[in-house]
Amino acid sequence: MPRLQIFIVSTRPGRKGEAVARWVDERAREHAKFEVEVVDLKEVNLPLLDEPEHPRLRKYQHDHTKAWSARVSRADAFVFVTPEYNYCSPPSLVNAIDFLFHEWTYKPAVFVSYGGASGGILPASMGDLPLDFGTLEKYGCFVGSHAVVILSDKDDMKAVALNLMKFFEDESCGQCTPCRVGTEKAAKLMAGGPWDERLLNELSDAMRDASICGLGQAAPNPLTSVFKYFRDDLERPLKVW
């Protein structure tokens, strides 16, 4: 039976990738046409590429490279379960791939990617917009990892946006005030009664303009999407999740 290796790419403490990989692992085992092996890059624990020769020559000098080569060689296909960091592949993935060459070649590979939820929310009526760079920005949205969440017409968009704002509050590293205080204040205002559009938009602008990184800059997107596209939900009382 061919062997499928499922890679957990994230090595981050508290990573979500393990849960996603578990789901992929279950699906692959149900399929029952592969021998499935989960490879956790955190456990593999490769150093940064430290081989002097190009891997195509296979003149590996370190035991960790020889062990990595033997492990990858025994696979016939790969699934990489990977997040996106700053619009790129995580360094753990690039490093693990760069260590080897022939071990990867002529084998099918699939990427299962997941990402943050700050790209904004669009109504179903705009479902035909091309999901690409440059096509969504004028609607106040953007693509990150190209992951899409489908919400139903039974979902309350205020509750969705509040849930996401609380997530960003939790994820904020706290280094800069507009993001640290802004996410907390926005979540409080959103949970506390009718939404004050002027105040929340002002707060969103401050977070966008003055946060250091993409997390704080994009955190208001779901909130401002509700003002733009889901005005009916604004009139209704907030449903609790």
Ligand X SMILES: Cc1cc2nc3c(=O)[nH]c(=O)nc-3n(C[C@H](O)[C@H](O)[C@H](O)COP(=O)(O)O)c2cc1C
Q: Which residues bind ligand SF4 (CB under 6 A)?
A: 172-176, 179-180, 211-213, 215-216
Q: How far is the CB of 210 from ligand X (least distance, A)?
A: 19
Backbone angles phi, psi at 223, to 5 degrees: -65, -50
Q: What span, in angstroms and rounded, lies between the C-alpha atoms of 90 and 11?
A: 9
Q: Measuring CA to CA, which residue among 82, 116, 114, 115 is closest to residue 97? A: 82
Q: How far is the CB of 196 from ligand X (least distance, A)?
A: 29
Closest CB to ligand SF4 among residues 69, 217: 217
Q: What span, in angstroms and rounded, lies between the C-alpha atoms of 219 and 125?
A: 23
Q: What span, in angstroms and rounded, lies between the C-alpha atoms of 104 and 182?
A: 45
Q: How far is the CB of 146 from ligand X (least distance, A)?
A: 9
Contacts (Cβ under 8 Å, ≥6 apart) of 159: 238, 239, 240, 241
| 146 forms part of the interface with ligand X (CB under 6 A) | no
Read off the amino acid at residue 168.
F
**Site mask, ligand X, residues 77-106, x = CB under 6 A?**
------xxxxx-------------------
Q: How many C-beta atoms surround the C-beta of residue 152 within 10 A?
A: 6
Q: What span, in angstroms and rounded, lies between the C-alpha atoms of 229 and 136?
A: 14
Q: What span, in angstroms and rounded, lies between the C-alpha atoms of 111 and 141?
A: 24
Q: How far is the CB of 15 from ligand X (least distance, A)?
A: 4
Say which entry of ligand X, ligand SF4, none residue 116 contacts (CB below 5 to 8 A, set by partner kind). Answer: ligand X
Using Cβ positions, the residue closest to ligand SF4 within the complex turns out to be 216
Q: Which of the 8 DSSP states describes residue 99? A: T
| 172 forms part of the interface with ligand X (CB under 6 A) | no
**Site mask, ligand X, residues 103-142, x = CB under 6 A?**
------------xx--------------------------
Q: How far is the CB of 217 from ligand X (least distance, A)?
A: 12
Q: Chain centroid to CA 233: how far? A: 27
Closest CB to ligand SF4 among residues 40, 184: 184
Say which entry of ligand SF4, ligand X, none residue 222 contacts (CB below 5 to 8 A, set by partner kind). Answer: none
Tokens representing 151 are 């919400």
Which residues are at the interface with ligand X (CB under 6 A)? 10, 12, 15-17, 83-87, 115-116, 144-145
